A and B are shown apart, each in its own frame.
Chain A
Amino acid sequence: MATVNIAMVWADALLWAQQPQIELSWNTVIRWALWLVLGFFGAFPGIVAYMVWAERKVAARFQDRIGPNRVGPLGLLQPIADAIKLITKENIVPRTADQWVHLLAPVIILVSAFLVLAVVPFGIGLTPVNLPSGLIYLVAVSSLSPLGIFLAGWSSRNKYSLLGAMRSVAQLVSYEVPQVLATVPVVLWAGSLSLNTIFDKQMEHGWFVFSPPGFLGFLILLIASIAEVNRTPFDLPEAESEIIAGFHTEYSGMRFGLFFLAEYLSVFAISCIMTAIYFGGGTLVPWSDFPAGTLGAIHSAYLPASINATFILVNLVLVAVFFAKVGFFIFLMFWVRATLPRMRVDRLMNYAWKSLVPLSIANVLVAAIWYELVLRPGVVFKVAGWDVRWFVGTLVTAPIVLLLIWLVARCNRLSEKAEVASTTAPAAAR
């Protein structure tokens, strides 16, 4: 038994060698400080500011308007003006509010949104912190935000705030389940929780989204992530027309600005995560490691020994492609928001628990089939010299995935019919 265990560990030695090991040397400290100052205080809030501008422009296009166009050319200075306005506005706290908790709540939400970005591999050697269990870390820090939202609603002493907080916590807790389960196929295929290893595996095997279980997993992740950041059609916690903005009704000035910042930052963060775990990070072409491959076999977590012009060029391409993909997902969310109306609360819960959760659990099994057919080292399907593993895998798993979706939809329809019958029958008897 013990020998078997040791042997298994030895077989994993290659993968284990890729596992990151963080040394707290002076070098690392400087790198982290640079990330903190340039990335987390500089670049990301800037990106968020211009996301707001982009959203207003996109929504305006959808609604046949012009959008912001007064401040600067194309309204490009509008975010700066907004920021100045938010900072200089008076900060009003209700007298009955719980002062400390009222201050703490937006900070918790903002911290949770920022921390998510700490493990995203933007390029080669461009991961702020490369954690061996990055995905678990992601789930852990993003689970802080319901706490912040609840505290915001509770500390305001306003019944609309409290209603918004209750809705929000129920929704976030429900959608966390399919969101986490939708990332399990990726962990299974990459054999690691580290986002860098996942990125490397995708350079080796192609983007994970291009497989039936991967595509289903990506869709579930996308839907659940939109619900996690409280955006339309899942914006019940801050429904303006029902509960006047919900949990942040009583916030004004820069504290409200912090909520705003956190929301857009989370949108940016989940787009980064979807890009990193399903869409191959910064790779340009699905089944090739094209820009990174020219550097030879390297691990994306570490900077190479010598930084030359080729490396910088490759990294620039990687980061540009990464942000292009992120921009696409952000646009997708703006599109959804400008198009779809809000969901009803019971449908929202039914959708999470009766559709997304069963589908994502079953998807893990399909992902295992895909792993056995396509990704397991040593599996070979050859037809006339061509490697047809991918086609075999798709032929086998695609019908299963379609069958699963049909089955879940059918079961839901039948149970809904039965419920309608059972609720209307007593009334008819009466």
Chain B
Amino acid sequence: MTYLFVFISVLGLLAALGTVLARNLVHAGLFLVAFFFTVACQFVLLEAEFLAAVQVLVYIGAVAILLMFAIMLTRNVQGDMTTTTSRTWLLPALVGGLGLFFVLMFGINDQVGLKGRMTWASASTRPEIPRAGEGKPVTPRSAAINDMGRMVGREMVTRFVVPFEVAGLLLTAALVGAVVVAYREGDDAESPRRGIQPTRLHGAVTVQATNGHADGSDLPSTASVTS
């Protein structure tokens, strides 16, 4: 088990290095996906397969796809023009990265556990989990490990219901905000309608608002034509 952990960790570190060193945006994204996948593997090693599935679902299924979408919608579709590493930022980045590393290292090493329990950082084996049907009581701990989906769901709607709702509200607000920011230009009724023309059936096709002077042509804005 330890060898497996070391193997997966090394793979994960290599993928993380690949993410920052890759010259191509899409390659960097792919390395990031590989890194997320190794994190999911670590969760499986910790017997948290629900978390592993959620990790794959959220990070690979949603975040990585969103990332690829963002790359596709920029002008640099092929993604092979990443910015070169800037020399001036090398030292600050190094200091910041090493600082974070040391903070985490000392934080995890000197972590103080709950009263009467050993610290999780120094634990290498997990306590025995009683199985149902062997006459042992079902503790919340064993239920949380063996039936994680149910326990996470229950905690979400009881103890953590306020943070859960606030997070949902925040995401909805971000979504609506993104729509508002993106829609403002298309909504401009005075923009000349060139390019895609909305037909009667198309409904709410957002019109590409190309202002007369934006693309170099010297046509007057149709605002004067329509008014």
The answer, yes or no, to whether B16 is at the interface (CB within 8 Å) is no
Determine whether the beta carbon of A132 is less than 8 Å from that of B200. Answer: no
Q: 8 Å CB contacts to A: which residues of B47-106?
A: 49-50, 53-54, 56-57, 60-62, 64-65, 68-69, 72, 77-79
Determine whether the beta carbon of B49 is less than 8 Å from that of A17. Answer: no
Determine whether the beta carbon of B200 is less than 8 Å from that of A423. Answer: yes
The answer, yes or no, to whether A169 is at the interface (CB within 8 Å) is yes
Q: 8 Å CB contacts to A: which residues of B210-227?
A: 226
CA distance A12 to B147 in the complex (A): 10
The tally of residues in B whose CB lies under 8 Å from a CB in A reads 45
Other-chain residue from A133, A157, A162, A416 in contact with B203 (beta carbon distance below 8 A): A416
The answer, yes or no, to whether B195 is at the interface (CB within 8 Å) is no
**A136 contact set on B, CB distance < 8 A:** 50, 53-54, 57, 149
Contacts A16-B143, A192-B150 known; A144 to B61 CB distance under 8 Å? yes
**B127 contact set on A, CB distance < 8 A:** none
CA distance A192 to B151 in the complex (A): 11
Determine whether the beta carbon of B53 is less than 8 Å from that of A137. Answer: yes
The tally of residues in A whose CB lies under 8 Å from a CB in B reads 48
Determine whether the beta carbon of B132 is less than 8 Å from that of A346. Answer: no
The chain B residue with its CB closest to the CB of A13 is B138
Determine whether the beta carbon of A162 is less than 8 Å from that of B72. Answer: yes
Determine whether the beta carbon of A17 is less than 8 Å from that of B148. Answer: no
Contact with B along A1-44 (1 / 0, CB 8 A): 00001101110110011010100000000000000000000000
**B61 contact set on A, CB distance < 8 A:** 139-140, 143-144, 146-147, 176
Determine whether the beta carbon of B56 is less than 8 Å from that of A420. Answer: no
The answer, yes or no, to whether A193 is at the interface (CB within 8 Å) is yes
Q: 8 Å CB contacts to A: which residues of B168-210?
A: 189, 198, 200-205
CA distance A304 to B76 in the complex (A): 59
Q: 8 Å CB contacts to B: which residues of A397-416?
A: 416
The answer, yes or no, to whether B116 is at the interface (CB within 8 Å) is no
Other-chain residue from A13, A19, A132, A143 in contact with B57 (beta carbon distance below 8 A): A143
A and B contact pairs by CB, cutoff 8 A, 7 listed: A9-B139, A16-B143, A101-B27, A132-B49, A147-B61, A191-B150, A416-B203
The chain B residue with its CB closest to the CB of A145 is B61
Contacts A132-B148, A144-B61, A173-B65 known; A12 to B143 CB distance under 8 Å? yes
Determine whether the beta carbon of A9 is less than 8 Å from that of B77. Answer: no
Determine whether the beta carbon of B57 is less than 8 Å from that of A9. Answer: no
**A5 contact set on B, CB distance < 8 A:** 140
Main secondary structure of the interface of A (DSSP, over half): helix
**A191 contact set on B, CB distance < 8 A:** 150
CA distance A9 to B68 in the complex (A): 43
Determine whether the beta carbon of B140 is less than 8 Å from that of A132. Answer: no
Contact with A along B5-32 (1 / 0, CB 8 A): 0000000000000000000101100100
The chain B residue with its CB closest to the CB of A170 is B69
Distance from B198 Cβ to chain A, minimum over Cβ atoms (Å): 5
Main secondary structure of the interface of B (DSSP, over half): helix
The answer, yes or no, to whether B41 is at the interface (CB within 8 Å) is no
Other-chain residue from A6, A143, A424 in contact with B140 (beta carbon distance below 8 A): A6
CA distance A422 to B60 in the complex (A): 40
Interface of B toward A, CB cutoff 8 Å: 24, 26-27, 30, 33, 49-50, 53-54, 56-57, 60-62, 64-65, 68-69, 72, 77-79, 131-133, 137-140, 143, 146-150, 154, 189, 198, 200-205, 226
CA distance A17 to B56 in the complex (A): 27
Contacts A9-B138, A9-B143, A157-B78 known; A133 to B53 CB distance under 8 Å? yes
Distance from B117 Cβ to chain A, minimum over Cβ atoms (Å): 17
Determine whether the beta carbon of B26 is less than 8 Å from that of A101. Answer: yes
Contacts A132-B49, A139-B57, A162-B77 known; A147 to B150 CB distance under 8 Å? no
20 further contact pairs, Cβ within 8 A, besides A132-B50, A140-B57: A9-B138, A19-B146, A131-B49, A132-B146, A132-B148, A132-B149, A140-B60, A147-B33, A151-B30, A154-B26, A154-B72, A154-B78, A169-B69, A192-B150, A346-B203, A346-B205, A350-B203, A419-B203, A419-B204, A430-B226
CA distance A297 to B223 in the complex (A): 77
Determine whether the beta carbon of A423 is less than 8 Å from that of B146. Answer: no
**B203 contact set on A, CB distance < 8 A:** 346, 350, 416, 419-420, 423
Q: 8 Å CB contacts to B: which residues of A140-176?
A: 140-141, 143-144, 146-147, 150-151, 154, 157, 162, 165-166, 169, 173, 176
CA distance A157 to B24 in the complex (A): 14
CA distance A13 to B201 in the complex (A): 57
**B53 contact set on A, CB distance < 8 A:** 131, 133, 136-137, 139-140
**B57 contact set on A, CB distance < 8 A:** 136, 139-140, 143
The chain A residue with its CB closest to the CB of B203 is A419
Distance from B149 Cβ to chain A, minimum over Cβ atoms (Å): 4
**A143 contact set on B, CB distance < 8 A:** 56-57, 60-62, 65
Other-chain residue from A16, A133, A166, A426 in contact with B49 (beta carbon distance below 8 A): A133
Q: 8 Å CB contacts to B: which residues of A338-358?
A: 346, 350
Distance from B134 Cβ to chain A, minimum over Cβ atoms (Å): 10
Other-chain residue from B24, B27, B138 in contact with A10 (beta carbon distance below 8 A): B138
Contacts A147-B65, A151-B30, A423-B203 known; A132 to B147 CB distance under 8 Å? yes
Q: 8 Å CB contacts to B: which residues of A93-111?
A: 98, 101, 104
Other-chain residue from B24, B60, B65, B149 in contact with A193 (beta carbon distance below 8 A): B149
CA distance A137 to B44 in the complex (A): 12
Contacts A133-B149, A169-B68, A192-B150 known; A147 to B60 CB distance under 8 Å? yes
**A146 contact set on B, CB distance < 8 A:** 61, 65
